[in-house]
Amino acid sequence: MKNLLSMESVSNEEIEAILKRAAEFEAGAKSQLERDYLVANLFFEPSTRTKTSFETAERRIGATVIPFEAGFSSTLKGETLYDTVKTLESIGMDAVVIRHKKDAYYEELLEGINVSIINAGDGAGQHPSQSMLDLYTIFKEFGKFEGLNITIAGDVSHSRVAKSNIIALRRLGANVNIVCPTQWQAEFEAHHDWDDLLETSDVIMLLRVQHERDAAFEGYSDESYHTRYGLTKEREKRMKDGAIIMHPAPVNRGVEIDSSLVECERSRIFKQIENGVFVRMAIVENILKGRN
């Protein structure tokens, strides 16, 4: 791959190769890069886990990471994203990981830019590396995607990872259902009650209520949302044997999920984070090796 921009831009075969390599890294494989590669992480929106995960993955495969403080850069002087990225390319970067509030910010970077772009979240667009780690987590659990029942619950309209996952999981043969208030279903069909989704789902994937995005939360308090759409202790008991709980985190404890369920037996929430490093090692390695 030259870039990783969205889940439409990667084939099922490319996904398979990434998941296979991630499993090798998890089993202890070391990366042998042929030269010193330079990578920078441009996070124009706050992040703990994605940024730290990439920072760790890049070092683990032996790349050199050049720090970039988005909140203290020349974008404050009005520099365009194109010029910032072209500057980093001129300085010698091989790849840049970017999170930016603008949907599909990368479109203005496709022409004239040679450095590889890894999308770590674009506006209300996609979040492909998170989607890949979710796929890895699901595949490790069930050994397949075909025929799995996967329910995504919450604010799909503002969720980059939901969009990436719906596209990828459906293409890989899973049945994806959505449950959320009408104002959050975006262009997708959705259930407005849990109905029998609890009893039939292999995976329940909760989304964060994004209070900071002025999400259309009208009509719901944290409590009433929890009651109607959250994964309560009662709902968890109705889940079928072997079914798992996922969440991209950070979690609003007591809103989309009962606090006591975050580390329950079904939960893969911190496992997802653990898996993320192996998957990102595979992604960055794949992209850097593709540059020769």
Interface with its own copies, residue 147, by CB under 8 A: no
Q: Contact with its own copies (CB under 8 A): which of 33, 49, 123, 191?
A: 49
CA angle 93–94–96, rounded 5-degree value: 75
Of 233, 253, 290, 291, the one binding its own copies (CB under 8 A) is 253
Q: Binding its own copies by CB under 8 A: which of 47, 149, 185, 200?
A: 47
Edge to edge, the sheet with strand 64-66 lists 64-66, 38-43, 95-100, 116-122
Alpha helices, DSSP H only, in 143-179? 160-171
Distance between CA 250 and CA 86 in Å, rounded?
Answer: 32
Closest approach of its own copies to the CB of residue 103, in Å: 20
Decide: is 212 part of the binding site for its own copies (CB under 8 A). yes
Dist. CA 281–CA 18, nearest whole Å: 9
Answer yes or no: are the C-beta atoms of 229 and 179 closer than 8 Å. Answer: yes
Distance CA 268, CA 263 (A): 8
Binders of its own copies among residues 59 to 78 (CB under 8 A) are 59, 64, 66-78
Please tell me whether residue 149 binds its own copies under the rule CB under 8 A.
no
Q: In this complex, which beta carbon is closest to its own copies, that of residue 1 or of residue 70?
A: 70
For its own copies, the binding residues (CB under 8 A) are 38, 40, 43, 46-49, 52-53, 55-56, 59, 64, 66-80, 83-84, 86-92, 112, 208, 210-212, 249-253, 262-263, 270-271, 273-274, 276-277
